[in-house]
A and B are shown apart, each in its own frame.
Chain A
């Protein structure tokens, strides 16, 4: 059976709007953010994302795991690009040194040196703001959209009935997969299986994951067959569907949609003029 994300009705900016309007805003926000590498523009999106997160009414405890995962992910990759300088090479061609740091150890007589430049530093900050904004806006969605409305939201956004219901099932498949994974993990642990003890070569390690991956995959496939049977037995897909839930736009929703579209158009226009590319203050690199 499909389970849902932990949705609750909350007093928040997100839930103040019609979910369709919010999805449109979300898509425009994501599209706009990825146009920029300029820290000044990214700060705007970062603050919007931060504001939405703070006013979301979702307690830290509820989404701590998600945040910790994303936080660790962002920091790890930002640090990696900062230390290696990889990944950012297409954005700048020259670098301006802040200082060289000799690392306090040597490898076979060679002493590694960390070259800290303004470009690398600004790139790391831009990266953090950018990924945080995208991740934060995304992670809030499942906690803020009523699962009973998934289908009608996508139908309302213009998808045909079958796709809209498909999206509804897909959104619920993710937490269901998580639950099944946990159940399998528990069942195998009770048979003495310990994930921590997996070692050996890559192939061997993957093989040793079979006790987790096989049941979870098979269960997902069998589960989808059950879902298809249950849908077929109740005449799904035979014609135009009625959706008992109704959504109604309010004035504020039209304002949000207009703002979202204008924002995206403006961003596209700015980027056509070459504005918003990677930026380091000129005063620092004279």
Chain B
């Protein structure tokens, strides 16, 4: 039976103690059981704060000034203890890595029930039920740290479901998942809603979520609700540059837009066959008998913009770490400019190849953004004048002007990620390598900095690892597909991405942008972004 207004938010306002401006202003929303509600918006729009207000972490863990009321199942949440709220409202955080506590899957799923003091038999029954519901019973006795990203997300979800909440909050659950895992997670959420749960899904990958037909869409900006209604009408109220909408929707809207926008011209040097980096029969393993990379041979040429695609745990990062010399092959060779990486230090390689790590928090340390960005060029021995120029240019590219004197560690995750990219850009390496540049970024930001990076005349080649096929469609002129430690495809995007069976086999899911591009390839001659298609078609 559908319960209307299972969760209601009335005039909610919140300001963090350490901030001057409010994080949420006048939020009034209501959610019913049996429904999926999508809450979309750019970074810093207040989505995560809203989630924290609902699950009780505000005011329990985060202090601030709050007014308004949140009612769940007829109870005022302000009157309930966190433990009581957690039995009614389950939360899945953005990164399952940050949520999983148990050593084994069974411990993780049982954790909440153990804390609530259920008897052992009942806990085990509920654990098995949760695992079966998500079709992951085979993972029951596995170590949590050995799971792939998609498996971790499902295990984190199972741990929450075992507590049988009536309302489920998910904060960007798709961010670290490969497309197939994201699709599976969404399908599960649809089923849970159909079974009677109220699902609140915070996500800026709007296109993906629309596939499971959310009953309600909320669009937030600057801490306020800008749109609340059904999915069909949302295109009128949402700026398609802020969140990722389906390509046909963007094309439709961009067509009517006057004046037409111009698109960046990429300035990479013309392709030639000179090999900048060579992998020759590279083999790698951490433990004997468990190969991570197997028989990898490839060359990176001048002018290449390479997207490395593949499922979670396929070996993409391991492959790229070989290029920078952080890992050395167990057999075979990696050559940079004809020199074997085994004979070069990472610092030497860094002169040629700049590598942006997946997580910015592992590298940021300096008291100001400016000093953070000078660190790399200083290590490489650049002179003071060029460092000033390089730092300024890098700051402009990632859109952080005005933040030069701010400590990078006090910035939001998305901004930190941009600092980490700028820190490598400032080194002026000839080849730029980025691991998941769009992870944790909102749509507008990553499109903006990818545009800016590709327009730089500095690079001989660019390589990025991504789960986002659209990023490959828009920017890459070459695709490397990796699965099970092997290179399963290497070629032009038009050739590789048209084979949908092959994509599915490698846990990639075609997007609407890819569909449209392939449909009109005869006319356009190349892949392009949705707004460009709107002008050409």
Contacts and interface: CB of A to CB of B under 8 A. Distances in A.
A9 B324 CA distance: 36
B63 to A, nearest CB: 13
B112 interface: yes
A226 B98 contact: yes
A204 interface: no
Q: Is the interface of A mostly helix, strand, loop or mixed?
A: helix
B350 A191 contact: yes
B145 A4 contact: yes
B91 interface: yes
B326 A186 contact: yes
A183 interface: yes
A231 B357 CA distance: 28
Contact of B362 (A4, A180, A231, A236): A180
Interface residues of A, number: 53
B347 A193 contact: yes
A172 B427 contact: no
B458 to A, nearest CB: 16
Interface in A129-153: 147-148, 150
B375 A191 contact: yes
Interface stretch (B81-89, B202-210, B460-468): B81-89
A219 interface: yes
Interface in B421-445: 423-424, 427
B427 A234 contact: no
Interface stretch (B29-37, B99-107, B334-342): B99-107
Contacts of A238: 81, 83, 115-116
Given A148-B103, A193-B347, A215 B145 contact: no
Interface in A238-259: 238-246
Contact of B376 (A191, A213, A232): A191
Given A1-B145, A4-B145, A188-B363, A242 B117 contact: yes
Contact of B99 (A186, A225, A230): A230
A215 B363 contact: yes
A270 interface: no
A59 B309 CA distance: 37
Interface in B105-140: 106-107, 110-120, 123-124, 127
Given A210-B365, A219-B362, A236-B115, A244 B375 contact: no
A1 B100 contact: yes
A242 B119 contact: yes
Nearest to A209: B365
A234 B111 contact: yes
Q: Is the interface of B mostly helix, strand, loop or mixed?
A: helix
A183 to B, nearest CB: 5
B146 to A, nearest CB: 10
Select the residue from A223, A226, A230 with max chain B CB neighbours within 10 A. Answer: A230
A243 B110 CA distance: 9
A4 B120 CA distance: 25
Given A233-B57, A238-B116, A244 B362 contact: no
Nearest to B156: A230
A263 interface: no
Interface in B172-213: none
A174 interface: no
A160 interface: no
Interface in A181-232: 183-184, 186-194, 210-215, 218-219, 222-223, 225-232
A232 B361 contact: no
Given A1-B145, A192-B350, A215-B365, A235 B112 contact: yes
Given A1-B144, A2-B103, A234-B112, 17 more contacts: A1-B100, A1-B145, A147-B103, A190-B324, A190-B346, A190-B355, A193-B375, A193-B379, A211-B363, A218-B365, A228-B61, A230-B100, A233-B55, A234-B86, A242-B114, A242-B118, A242-B120
19 contacts: A1-B97, A1-B144, A4-B103, A147-B143, A183-B362, A186-B357, A187-B357, A187-B362, A190-B357, A191-B350, A214-B409, A215-B362, A215-B364, A232-B82, A233-B57, A240-B117, A244-B110, A244-B114, A244-B123
Interface of A: 1-4, 147-148, 150, 169, 172, 180, 183-184, 186-194, 210-215, 218-219, 222-223, 225-246
